[in-house]
């Protein structure tokens, strides 16, 4: 496998996050997308210069050089790494970028409720979204 080009930091305790990660893993034919479960025992958010609460608040991703992105930019990069970048390319367009991030922020705050509505539950409760507001980027 080739060296990864982008790493997805996902919540392995969140059923919706697990589902998306499994989809991406199934399409990761070249190994260009790496995955790290931020809910795994021993995971250290400080290694990325952030906190666990920040990572749980919105999705983050990292490039090999250490640059981090969050929100919908993570999905754009993850999908680009598996060869499906065209699907999310419009979310980077002016106006749509702001709207996509706003929609994602709403989803991130309500992901556990959405999961319950879809019959997917967080078994441990560890995937609850922190109450503190995350900074906008």
Confidence of residue 131 (pLDDT cuts 50, 70, 90): very low
pLDDT of residue 114: 77
Of residues 112, 83, 81, 97, the one with CA closest to residue 14: 112
Mean pLDDT of 28-41: 96
**Per-domain boundaries in the chain:** 6-117
Distance between CA atoms of 111 and 56, rounded to whole angstroms? 11
pLDDT of 123? 54
User: What percent of the chain is modeled with pLDDT above 90?
Assistant: 64
Average pLDDT for residues 25-33, to the nearest whole number? 96
Cα 29 to the center of its chain, rounded Å: 19
Residue 55 has pLDDT above 80, yes or no: yes
Per-residue pLDDT, 91? 93
């Amino acid at each position: 496998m080739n060296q990864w080009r982008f790493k997805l930091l996902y919540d392995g305790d969140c059923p919706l996050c697990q589902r998306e990660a499994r989809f991406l893993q199934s399409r990761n034919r070249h190994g260009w997308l790496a995955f790290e479960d931020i809910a795994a025992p021993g995971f250290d958010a400080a290694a990325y210069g952030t906190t666990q609460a920040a990572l749980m608040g919105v999705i983050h991703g990292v490039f090999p050089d250490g640059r981090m992105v969050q929100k919908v930019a993570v999905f754009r990069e993850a999908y680009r790494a598996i060869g499906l970048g065209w699907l999310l390319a419009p979310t980077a367009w002016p106006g749509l970028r702001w709207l996509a991030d706003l929609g994602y922020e709403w989803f991130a705050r309500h992901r556990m409720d959405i999961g319950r509505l879809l019959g997917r539950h967080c078994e441990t409760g560890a995937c609850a979204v922190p109450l503190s507001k995350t900074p906008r980027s």
